[in-house]
Amino acid sequence: MEANELSRRYRAYIDCLNRQDWARLGDFVHADASHNGRPFGLAGYRSMLENDFRTIEGLSFTIATLVAEPPHVASRLAFRCRPRADFLGLPVNGREVAFTEHVFYDYRDGLIWRVWSLIDREAIAEQLA
Amino acid sequence: MEANELSRRYRAYIDCLNRQDWARLGDFVHADASHNGRPFGLAGYRSMLENDFRTIEGLSFTIATLVAEPPHVASRLAFRCRPRADFLGLPVNGREVAFTEHVFYDYRDGLIWRVWSLIDREAIAEQLA
């Protein structure tokens, strides 16, 4: 796969998340997907995302920087949303916060297979201070 | 610049850091470099790195995943080292800790220009617990 095609697929994945079109998630995520070393599989991955949308008001994924070089994608995601209660152990309780996430994806069979994610928790802590 | 050439340059930058060859840092880092929005310039960037090597015993940069698509590089860096005192507000005090850093670099004129970095502070906190 070319870098351009991989970028296109990744953008379609982000669109799928923002539509919460869970029935299509398997078009983008591998049955054996893992997240930060946890062997979620597709069902667990979907559960994680559904829980995110349930517990975070106004959740939407915005790509700030996308870097594609098969079989890897790296994405710097930007968020502005309102976690309803605690988020990453911080008492956000519905306040609007802005933060970024730095994610590395290993693709396999054209699908997201292994995901390594870090969220800028410190930025949220500073906004609550 | 091609992705392959950008990867080669980035690996040479990491070699430069690991040699602590500060006189050559300007071969890789732009005079107007910034780090997490701080307009360090080359001198400030060098000071940050020199301070890291002074305060962290056994510091060495290992590339776990490298994704290059001009003008961007994303790198997942792995560390196993011994911060001498506090590190990211955590009382490490010379213990060996392992953690990753997820970094996005915007290149300009073939040089590192804007850097956005997140470090897995939670992994360190868990190792100290």
In this prediction, residues B42-67 reach a mean pLDDT of 98
Closest partner residue to B74 (CB to CB) among A3, A74, A121 is: A74
pLDDT tier at A2 (50, 70, 90 boundaries)?
very high
* pLDDT tens-place string over residues B67-124: 999 999 999 999 999 999 999 999 999 999 999 999 999 999 999 999 999 999 999 9
**Closest to A96 measured CA to CA, from A43, A45, A59:** A59
- Residue contact B67–A76, C-beta within 8 A: no
Going from the C-alpha of A117 to that of each of A35, B74, B76, the distances in angstroms are: 8, 13, 10
Q: Is the pLDDT score of A36 beyond 90? A: yes
List chain A residues with CB under 8 Å of B68: 67, 69
The per-residue pLDDT for range B9-33, each reduced to its tens digit, is 999 999 999 999 999 999 999 999 9
CA distance B69 to A105: 15
Tokens of A32: 């054996």
Averaged confidence pLDDT in chain A: 97
- For A68, which of B69, B104, B120 is closest by C-beta distance? B69
Percent of chain A with pLDDT over 90: 99
User: Quick one: average pLDDT of A62-87?
Assistant: 98
pLDDT value of position B1: 79
pLDDT(A1) > 90: no
Interchain contact, B102 vs A104, CB within 8 Å: yes
Closest Cβ–Cβ partner in B69, B76, B119 for A69: B69
Region A98-124 average pLDDT: 97
Please list every residue in chain B whose beta carbon sits closer than 8 Å to the beta carbon of residue A121. 121-122
The confidence score (pLDDT) of residue A80 equals 98
**ipTM metric:** 0.96
HEC string of A29-93 equals: EEEEEEECCECCHHHHHHHHHHHHHHHEECCCCEEEEEEEECCEEEEEEEEEEEECCEECCEECC
